[in-house]
A and B are shown apart, each in its own frame.
Chain A
Amino acid sequence: MTRARRSDNALTRLVRRPGAVVALVFLALLTFAVIFADVVAPIDPLTQDLARARELPSAAHWLGTDGFGRDIYSRLIHGGGSTLGGALLAAVVAMTIGIPLGMLGGYFRGWVDTVVSRFADVFQALPTIVILMAVIGAFGNNNTVAMVALGVAMCEGFIRLARAMTLQVRRELYVDAASVAGITSGSILVRHVFPNIRGPLLVQLSITAGAALLIQAGLGFLGLGTPPPAPSWGGMIDEASDLIYLHPWLLVPTGAIMILSILSFNVLGDALASDRPGGVLAGVRLPWMKPLPVAEQPVAMSELVPADPKAVVSVRDLTVSFTDRNSTFAVVQNVSFDVMPGEALGIVGESGCGKSVTAKALLGLIAPGGKITGGQVTINGTDVVGLSNRELRKVRGTTIALVSQEPMVALDPTFTIGAQLRESIAHHTGRKGRELNDRALELLRLVGMPDPAQAAASYTFQVSGGMAQRAAIALALTGEPDVLVADEPTTALDVTVQAEILDLLRSLRKDLGLAVIIVTHDLGVIADLCDRAVVMYAGQVIEQGAVDTLLTTPTHPYTRALLASMPSHAIPGLPLDAIPGAVPAPRDWPEGCRFAPRCAFATDACRSAPVPILAQHGGLSRCIRVDEVLAQSRNRTEERNIA
């Protein structure tokens, strides 16, 4: 059997969280003190000294004395056993009954589930305090019995949670894979389901322990559970509340220790719940690791793209950086391009190359933790970098609009498509009444809805993915923008539907003069829709040019390799021209040419210094060996022509 590396077990992961460490230390100290109460608090908790009643803390009585002159510190420590132990007992009983039942119900469903759910219903219907009173009535006032009963009464929460979580996890593919592999249901439950529902159950455990602590204290307050004069936290709160005006201090130590205990349970539960093995991802650095040197600023690209006053979008040296606990690192660097009115520009590359960050930055949309750290983005003459959110909102929608991969995210499932369009039209254009509706129908017709009236009356969940994307495009058009940014608008769609959406974007360009910036990983989509393309790799533009030449005679080895790795270009039976390795994460970008580790043309010169992007062969290319690349392509074509 293989074993996890030593440094990666639940405990070592836990101690990386400062909050959890404090909670753990607190609970450990408390447990220690309670177990060795006689040593830690040698004063007898029952000894009264009426002469020294209601004293504030002193050297003799660290936390003062109560109404009978008993030492509060000692009573807290000695009373902790029954209180904490009782609360834990109740929580453990609830867990032991609830988790297996809930998991069985959720996993096997059918009649097992029905029985389990009815069982849970019974305990939900009966008030906890009634159950407790009945049990105390039957078995006498005994803390252990009361706490076991409390546990049974509280098992309902565990049943429901375990059941709901199991229902969810059993749909995971690894559960399917295990059952295909012939693993028994029991093993699947223990090995695959339980570890994945453990987190929320631990939170439930801490909540239950906290609640049990309160109920236990409540019982003490009622004079039940632990019979006085034996100390218990609940009993002490009861006594303190009697003296609240005479000696308010009395409430402080007991209240504080209860609050701290409950808090510690919750913090610990939270930390355990979010625990994941292998959390130390490649590329994620811990504080004590040496930070990576951020790759040197590459040569500015802006000079290569001459300013054109006609451009509707003009991006110059756009740099976007993210900050985490340890450092700030760029994910997009010195990106420059222009888009003319009515033009379609494609941004293409593999995942993680910075396409979406670039596209969203055009609208001033940057995820939390990120920031535009350099460059300008000029939309219709206005530089939007550094605009406030209010100013940005004016630009968004009316000048530049966004369509995303998931139309369902842009659309609200609780309103009809028509209602959302009308609201947005009213917001952008100030139209009212009938005009609103007419415009909404006009837009739906424009995006090719076969029956605009019916579409307007539909909710998003009633239409297919392609229709939803049309509706999302209609919504983006409500503010009559000049530029539409479409981030993978067809990736979630089937090819036949994708073709229709691309047709739609083409007709919008023609009919409205709309400029389109489309982000995609599919070079075919670029060929279909775009005039020009920007190819990105590891946060940089590596090639830029007219689509007709870029896709037929690429100058950059990455563009060339991407084209070659497409299965449509492959001959069955022969291996595909795969690019070795993978796109590096931003922190692992190499010093020199970022593509060098994967490039078939790489030489030492490529690795020694950042490679600038240069105007060459009719386009822009970030490669020092363009001539060799083109020569090899020519040879290949000749070979193929001869063969």
Chain B
Amino acid sequence: MTIEPLLQVDHLQMRFKNPKNRRNTVHAVDDVSFTVAPGEIVGVVGESGSGKSTIGRCILGLETPSDGDIHFDGSDLGAHSKLRNRRDLASRLQVVFQDPYSSLNPFRTIGQTLAEPLQALSRVSDAQADARVRDMLEAVGLPREAADRYPSQFSGGQRQRIGIARALIMEPKLVICDEAVSALDLSTQAQILNLLSKLAADRGLAYIFIAHDLDVVRYISDRTLVLYRGRVMEQGASADVYSRPLHPYTAALHAAAPVTDPVEQRARRTARAKIVRPAPEIGPTTGHAGCPFAARCAFAQEVCTTDRPADTPVGERSVACHMYNATSGHTRQGAGMSGVELAVT
């Protein structure tokens, strides 16, 4: 018997009309399914424009999906959701944004910003709200007096702590962290990652951790979803996805992230050349059929440009690549791409 997931996303679709060309729609999210268990941290990695943020915004209700189902903690939030009032969700589902500068209203003190949802949703007195705000600030490593100050008086890292405090003050079950550490310096990023891990462990929080940095996602998340052009390329336990990438795109991402050991970095560079074609991509492929990575994949064959790869289970993982599907017609059989070495037979 499995635990009931906290969040279940099924066949989520999000299409945006291109304002310049009506017939050309952008498939920001294309048939994405995944679940998040209570207390689980699910990482979503992918390059910019791969649809990571849009998935988060659909779950939060900031966008209405074109199609698909979203079930969160007993509520239906999908494309056909009848839920008009998401107010009662606010205490269970929260968000931390990337930009520590635009995510705080410059005209309101930190205390006012943090107390606002408390006072709107639960009837607490001013004094109670104030006490909870200051407790929360302390929990994220800021002085209690921070409540009396304005956003402009804080650094980027401190603002991100405030953003986390705002998300956690309602004691949510799931927090969507959309590039929550991407804008921060290395040393600040480490501080915030430690804070997020500690809060998750202490409070039993689940996160959807959206980032473009594979290392960050590997470090913080239990499971990882690798996204490319709106589609899930591979998903599975973070440790596996990182140590033994199955999908060529995951392997390419892995080989492209530079490491600080100059010798190992040279080895990675060699490995990358074997996975990604040397010629850079010519532009966004608009075709919907086929594998979105085909234009850059060193293993692409005819079938990759005509048929869309199905999500194929490989052990505990799911991979959308013809090489892992015996009936696809691809002549190679993928056997995983461990770290820098390719093991394609």
The interface of chain A, by Cβ under 8 A from chain B, is 1-5, 8, 172-174, 176-184, 187, 191-192, 195-196, 198, 276-282, 350-351, 448, 450-451, 463-467, 470, 494-500, 502-503, 521-528, 547-548, 551-552, 561-563, 565-570, 572, 575-580, 582-583
Contacts and interface: CB of A to CB of B under 8 A. Distances in A.
Contact of A548 (B87, B121, B262, B279): B262
B239 A572 contact: yes
Given A173-B102, A464-B284, A495-B253, 16 more contacts: A1-B115, A2-B133, A4-B148, A173-B99, A176-B97, A177-B103, A179-B62, A192-B105, A276-B150, A276-B152, A277-B109, A465-B48, A496-B296, A565-B187, A568-B257, A576-B219
Contacts of B119: 1
Contact of B147 (A2, A276, A523, A527): A2
A2 B194 contact: no
Interface in B246-272: 252-253, 255-263, 265, 269, 272
Interface string B144-163: 00011111110101000001
A581 B270 CA distance: 38
B4 interface: no
B102 A495 contact: no
26 contacts: A2-B109, A172-B102, A172-B105, A173-B103, A174-B102, A174-B103, A180-B61, A180-B94, A181-B94, A182-B86, A195-B105, A195-B108, A276-B107, A276-B150, A494-B48, A498-B256, A527-B258, A547-B262, A548-B262, A565-B190, A567-B189, A568-B215, A568-B260, A576-B219, A578-B193, A583-B187
Contact of A562 (B112, B120, B187, B212): B187
A277 B106 contact: yes
Contacts of A280: 153
A523 B187 CA distance: 13
Contact of A180 (B93, B99, B276): B93
B103 A495 contact: no
Given A576-B219, A579-B190, A551 B61 contact: no
Nearest to B258: A524
A449 B267 CA distance: 26
B120 A182 contact: yes
B282 interface: yes
Contacts of A495: 47, 212-214, 253, 256-258
Contact of A579 (B93, B151, B187, B279): B187
Interface in B113-171: 113, 115-117, 119-121, 126, 129-130, 133, 147-153, 155, 157, 163, 166, 170
Contacts of A567: 189-190, 193, 213, 215-216, 218-220
Interface size of B as a range: 35 or more
Interface in B184-233: 185-191, 193-194, 197-198, 212-216, 218-220
Given A351-B185, A582-B155, A176 B259 contact: no
Contacts of A196: 105-107
B117 A181 contact: yes
B19 interface: no
B259 A496 contact: no
Contacts of A524: 257-260, 265
Contacts of A561: 187
Contacts of B166: 177, 181
B314 interface: no
Contacts of A350: 185-188
A495 B252 CA distance: 9
Contacts of B214: 495
Contacts of B151: 278
A576 B188 CA distance: 11
Most buried by B among A177, A191, A565: A177
Given A196-B105, A496-B256, A572-B220, A527 B153 contact: no
B186 A521 contact: yes
A576 B269 CA distance: 27
Contacts of A463: 283
Nearest to B273: A503
Contact of B62 (A180, A277, A467): A180
Q: Which 8 A-B pairs have the closest CB atoms?
A: A278-B150, A2-B111, A524-B258, A182-B90, A494-B47, A578-B190, A195-B107, A181-B117
Contacts of B220: 567, 572
A499 B255 CA distance: 9
Given A173-B102, A524-B257, A527-B260, A184 B120 contact: yes
